[in-house]
């Protein structure tokens, strides 16, 4: 049966980055954009070029890297914004300028202080300018779901005439009811001349838990682009989650008669990457990618699953690239076996990366009997964050108790030399971090600290993620160990190494002409 194609527009790097506490570094943005492209995402919104120098540089770095996917930059209805977007996109093989303005009475009156006529003029004028600079122009009517209908039709018609090739009707505040949102698309297609000749797009927020439902209903009623983020990252309650949209359309293809170009096998890995780099872990019961999304607890369910998986599963975790069987790797396995397994899990390992992953694997194999795929993934993710030629944890010792100040003695190695310092703290973790600061000479403020068990059981790996701040920069670090204090120490050192590496890179970039 023929399925119509729905364009997947990822905005993890723009709307997703507006999540409180989340900020990606440029190199991380490039890594994410490449992973999204490899997975088959059609359009990648790389940022808001006029917002800051960092955003501009990120859009331009992504533009240089991507080959197949369209790179999109956001702009307000302001000449300077549109020109900045166009310049940042200059090197992109496929580019799109995305212009937006709010059209609801409350946004026009209380945010923009503009009359409807002024908003209409700005929308048409800006679309025309964007179209002179780029063949692919998207126009968004911010807060479309609270916009008066006649005015909405007028703006949509105006921007189509001015050259918009995609028109997006966002449910900016997650207000729309499901059928109501679908009807909006039917009405626009019926009432606005030219609407059937452009791509209509959905963009939904999850304030009332309906982002995915409203998006799918929009598709059912004629929209052919979905704007979404990995893990549903985004401001407030987040955006529609890409993995749910993709699997929703694919699992019920016979109902929607629509599908996307996304290769679902990349979903799990990209979801883990975003969880790592954002520091925002999806809830365990998060659909598609949550830790419990494919767990079956009750006896009746387990019995059914053993007879026929379709009894309780509408999709298969292996189709999402989730690691399945536990691995027959242990103490005696060689580096080839590890490289092979890593490859199957989607990580290419060779040279120094393989050596250092293998060293971590051996350390773990000494402490933990059975090494599962999830353990391997935790090690590989930690490796990914590891900077080269930096500080390594050599030894630590901690004195701690409930009625005493904790004291930590930490020895770090750098370029073959070891340095030891002792420090106190309110608890063992803080004492360790203070000792590390004393060695590196770079005082850092801890912004967040998260710990979770990678697998079940007493010898489970603990995975610690920290976010530290030094001056203007914040950085994530990760450490895994069967010992949670060691994992904490490793995570902190990891973050500090990355901060040092980042500062050196920024310095080098400033020196170059
Ligand atoms: Mn949004």
Residue pLDDT tens, the chain, 513 long: 689 999 999 999 999 998 887 888 888 899 999 999 999 999 999 999 999 888 999 999 999 999 999 999 999 999 999 999 999 999 999 999 999 999 999 999 999 999 999 999 999 999 999 999 999 999 999 999 999 999 999 999 999 999 999 999 999 999 999 999 999 999 999 999 999 999 999 999 999 999 999 999 999 999 999 999 999 999 999 999 999 999 999 999 999 999 999 999 999 989 988 987 887 889 989 999 987 888 776 777 777 777 888 888 889 888 898 876 545 677 788 888 888 888 777 677 778 888 888 888 888 888 877 787 778 878 887 776 665 558 989 999 999 999 899 999 999 999 889 999 999 999 999 999 999 999 999 889 998 898 888 877 777 888 898 989 888 788 888 888 889 999 999 999 989 988 888 777 777 666 544
Q: How far is the CA of 500 from the centre of ligand 1 (A)?
A: 34
Q: What is the DSSP letter of 205?
A: B
Q: Are strands 225-228 and 137-142 parallel, antiparallel or unpaired?
A: unpaired
Q: What is the 3-state secondary structure (H, E, C) of 158-181?
A: HHHHCCCCEEEEEECCCCCCHHHH
Q: How far is the CA of 309 from the centre of ligand 1 (A)?
A: 37
Distance CA 68, CA 27 (A): 19
Which residues have CB less than 5 Å away from ligand 1 (the ion)? 15
52 CB burial (10 A radius; 0-12, 13-18, 19+): exposed
Considering only CA atoms, give the Rg of the chain.
25
Q: In 10 A of CB 359, how many CB atoms?
A: 12
pLDDT, residue 1, reads 61
Q: How far is the CA of 266 from the centre of ligand 1 (A)?
A: 24
Tell me, rounded to whole angstroms, the distance of Cα 259 from its chain centroid: 22
Distance CA 158, CA 123 (A): 8
pLDDT, residue 94, reads 98
Q: How far is the CA of 62 from the centre of ligand 1 (A)?
A: 21
pLDDT, residue 115, reads 97
For residues 69, 75, 77, 78, the Cα torsion angle rounded to the nearest 10 degrees is -130
Q: How far is the CA of 228 from the centre of ligand 1 (A)?
A: 9
For the chain, domains (ranges, CATH) are 4-278 (3.20.20.70), 294-322 (no CATH), 335-385 (no CATH), 392-511 (3.30.160.270)
Q: How far is the CA of 16 from the centre of ligand 1 (A)?
A: 8
**DSSP 3-state of 467:** strand
* Confidence (pTM): 0.79
Q: How far is the CA of 15 from the centre of ligand 1 (A)?
A: 5
pLDDT, residue 388, reads 57
Tokens 């005493």 map to which residue? Answer: 404
Tell me, rounded to whole angstroms, the distance of Cα 253 from its chain centroid: 26
pLDDT, residue 512, reads 47
């Amino acid at each position: 049966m023929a399925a119509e194609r729905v364009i997947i527009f990822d905005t993890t790097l723009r709307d997703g980055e507006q999540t409180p506490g989340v900020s990606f570094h440029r190199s991380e943005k490039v890594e994410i954009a490449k992973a999204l492209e490899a997975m088959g995402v059609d359009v990648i919104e790389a940022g808001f070029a006029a917002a800051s120098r960092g955003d501009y540089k990120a859009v331009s770095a992504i533009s240089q890297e991507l080959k197949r996917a369209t790179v999109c930059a956001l702009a307000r209805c302001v000449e300077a914004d549109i020109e900045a977007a166009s310049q940042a996109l200059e090197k992109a093989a496929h580019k799109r300028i995305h212009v937006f303005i709010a059209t609801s009475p409350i946004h026009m009156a209380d945010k923009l202080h503009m009359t409807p006529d002024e908003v209409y003029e700005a929308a048409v004028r800006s679309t025309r300018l964007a179209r002179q600079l780029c063949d692919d122009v998207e126009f968004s009517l911010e807060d479309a779901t609270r916009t008066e209908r006649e005015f909405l039709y007028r703006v949509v018609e105006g921007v189509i005439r001015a050259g918009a090739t995609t028109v997006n009707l966002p449910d900016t505040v997650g207000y729309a009811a499901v059928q109501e949102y679908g009807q909006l698309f039917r009405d626009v297609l019926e009432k606005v001349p030219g609407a059937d000749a452009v791509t209509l797009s959905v963009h939904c927020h999850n304030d009332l838990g309906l982002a995915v439902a409203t998006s799918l209903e929009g598709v059912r009623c004629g929209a052919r682009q979905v704007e979404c983020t990995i893990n549903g990252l985004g401001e407030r309650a987040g955006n529609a989650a890409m993995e749910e949209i993709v699997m929703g359309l694919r699992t019920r293809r016979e109902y929607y008669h629509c599908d996307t170009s996304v290769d679902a096998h990349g979903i799990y890995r990209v979801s883990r990457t975003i969880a790592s780099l954002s520091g925002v872990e999806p809830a365990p019961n998060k659909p598609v990618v949550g830790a419990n999304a494919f767990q079956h607890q009750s006896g009746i369910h387990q019995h059914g699953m053993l007879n026929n998986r379709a009894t309780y599963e509408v999709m298969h975790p292996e189709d999402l690239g989730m690691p399945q069987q536990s691995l027959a790797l242990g103490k005696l396995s060689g580096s080839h076996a590890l490289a092979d397994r890593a490859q199957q899990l989607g990580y290419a390992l060779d040279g120094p990366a393989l050596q250092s992953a293998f060293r971590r694997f051996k350390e773990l194999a000494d402490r933990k009997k059975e090494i599962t795929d999830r353990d391997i993934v935790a090690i590989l993710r930690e490796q990914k964050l590891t900077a080269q030629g930096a500080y390594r944890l050599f030894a630590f010792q901690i004195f701690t108790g409930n009625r005493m100040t904790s004291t930590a003695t930490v020895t770090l190695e750098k370029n073959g030399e070891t340095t030891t310092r002792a420090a106190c703290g309110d608890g063992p973790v803080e004492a360790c971090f203070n000792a590390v600061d004393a060695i590196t000479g770079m005082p850092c403020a801890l912004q967040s600290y998260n710990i979770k068990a990678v697998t079940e059981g007493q010898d489970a790996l603990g995975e610690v993620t920290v976010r530290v701040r030094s001056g203007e920069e914040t950085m994530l670090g990760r450490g895994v160990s069967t010992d949670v204090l060691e994992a904490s120490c490793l995570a902190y050192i990891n973050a500090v190494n990355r901060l040092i590496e980042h500062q050196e890179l920024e310095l080098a970039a400033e020196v170059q002409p």
